Structure 1
Amino acid sequence: MAGEVVVDALPYIDQGYDEPGVREAALAMVEEETRRYRPTKNYLEHLPPLNLNAFETTVIKHEFERLQSRLPMEVLSMKRYELPPPPPGKMNDIAAWNESVENSMAQLEHQATRICNLELMMDYGCEAWKCYLEVLMQLVSQAQKQLQGLRKTIQEVNWQRKSMQTQGGEKLRALEAQWVGLVSKNYEIEQACVHLEEEIHRYKYLKHTGGEAGDVPGEEQEPDIPGDNATETTAMEPTPEEPRPA
């Protein structure tokens, strides 16, 4: 898949994360990547445009306008809780007195409703509060169960990841040891080949000149042949010449 990122880090196996300078180097790499990265695609183009006025009511709009105009907030009006008499100029006006009486009756009904609510709360408030607390405790218990389930799932994922990384680390170490062994063996084979080539060259020279082993020019002593294996030693020794027929 194009653009797929393969994460090859094994935090349970890799070492050296706590060494000084590692965190700073990683943060520097991230900062450099964010500085060089210039997105050219709008990742929100598949979404509809935002409707910022969806939840605005008339009151909220007026409040936003007040805040934008830097006007002070209006003080809470307590006029409906007052019982004012008719103004002095309308003391003999029946309509003004009727309005005052209706206001007083409304205030009286409001206070009666409050008293009724208080009496109902005294009779049934404790039971209602107990029911509310029971429902609240059930919600808390369900939330705790969900939280425990999520923590258990996270722990299982972490254990599974640790197990996979541990197995992968053991396999990597085994492959690394095998690679080191093969490289060392190849080096030994190359060294043995070099020594064998030198031996072949020397015996060819002796056969051609008819001299002895010490007569080879440029060689003061016989080169050492690595390896204690009898097969390798036998293979390195020169084969005796067969007797010529008379």
Structure 2
Amino acid sequence: MAGEVVVDALPYIDQGYDEPGVREAAFAMVEEECRRYRPTKNYLEHLPPLNISSFETPIMHNEFERLQNRLPMETLSMKRYELPPPPSGKLNEVGAWNECVDNSQAQLEHQAVRILNLELMLEYCCPAWKRYLQTLADSEKIASKKLMELRRQLQQVNWQRKSLQTKGGDQLKALEAKWVALVSHNYEIEQACVMTEEYLAQIKQNPNIHCKLHESISN
């Protein structure tokens, strides 16, 4: 994957993050990177244009336009509930009175339906509401159970990560100690080799040294 960053860190093992100056140095590096970063093109051009009105319904769209134009909100019209008589010029017309009667019957039926709805609500609303609340409670229990399972999995992942890092840290410490021991041993060997080379060089320059040393060892 292009641009993939491999994080080479063991947060549970590494030390020194809380030492003085470390946080400031990290912020300084970020600021330096931000200062040098100069985008030459729109890095969001591969994304589709933002449609901020996709969620709007026609009613919401009209209301937003009203607010933008600073127009007052329309008041609730009670005209459909009125029972006006025929106009003064049609008081003697039967058709005009028939329209008024039809309107009255429609209003009467509308009120009858409202009464019926109220009676149905009084009879069935409470049990339906209780079932709705029970459904919400069941949904909440299911969601809570899923949340607890996710938290358990997250905790398990964290424990596994800590365990692996702790184990890896112990291995690193052991390898580091072994490396230090090998380096020290190599240094001792190099020192012995240097001393041996110096001794051989002295023998080549003065062979009597070897004879005197041999005699002293014999005695």
Q: Do 2:86 and 2:96's aligned partners in 1 also have CA atoms closer than 8 Å?
A: yes
- Structure 2 residue aligned with 1:186: 186
2:14 maps to 1:14: yes
Higher normalized contact order (CA 8 Å, seq sep 6+, divided by chain length):
2
The 5-angstrom pairing of residues 63-212 of structure 1 reads: 63-86=63-86, 94-207=94-207
Task: For structure 2, list consecutive stretches of 5 or more residues without a partner in the other structure.
Answer: none
TM-score, normalised relative to structure 1: 0.70
Decide whether aligned partners of structure 1 residues 75 and 23 sit closer, same or farther in structure 2, where only a CA change above 3 A counts. Answer: farther
The number of equivalent residue pairs is 214
TM-score, normalised relative to structure 2: 0.77
Q: CA deviation at 1:161?
A: 1.0
* Mean Cα deviation higher: 155-164 or 96-105: 96-105
- Structure 2 residue aligned with 1:38: 39
Aligned-partner Cα distance in 2 for 1:108–1:239: 137
Aligned-partner Cα distance in 2 for 1:23–1:93: 92
2:66 maps to 1:59: no
Q: What's the % identity of the aligned pairs?
A: 63
* Mean Cα deviation higher: 146-155 or 17-26: 17-26
Aligned-partner Cα distance in 2 for 1:80–1:32: 70
SS in 1 for 2:203: helix
Structure with bigger helix share is: 2
Q: Do 2:12 and 2:166's aligned partners in 1 also have CA atoms closer than 8 Å?
A: yes
Decide whether aligned partners of structure 1 residues 53 and 2 sit closer, same or farther in structure 2, where only a CA change above 3 A counts. Answer: closer
Q: CA deviation at 1:29?
A: 2.9
Look at both structures and tell me which one has the larger radius of gyration over its CA atoms.
1
Q: CA deviation at 1:143?
A: 0.8
Amino acid at match of 2:12: Y
Q: Do 1:12 and 1:165's aligned partners in 2 also have CA atoms closer than 8 Å?
A: yes
1:35-64: CA deviation from partner (whole Å, max 9, x where unpaired): 51637685673x666666655554344334
Measured on the aligned residues, the alpha-carbon RMSD in Å equals 3.4
Q: CA deviation at 1:108?
A: 2.7
Q: CA deviation at 1:105?
A: 3.1
Q: CA deviation at 1:211?
A: 10
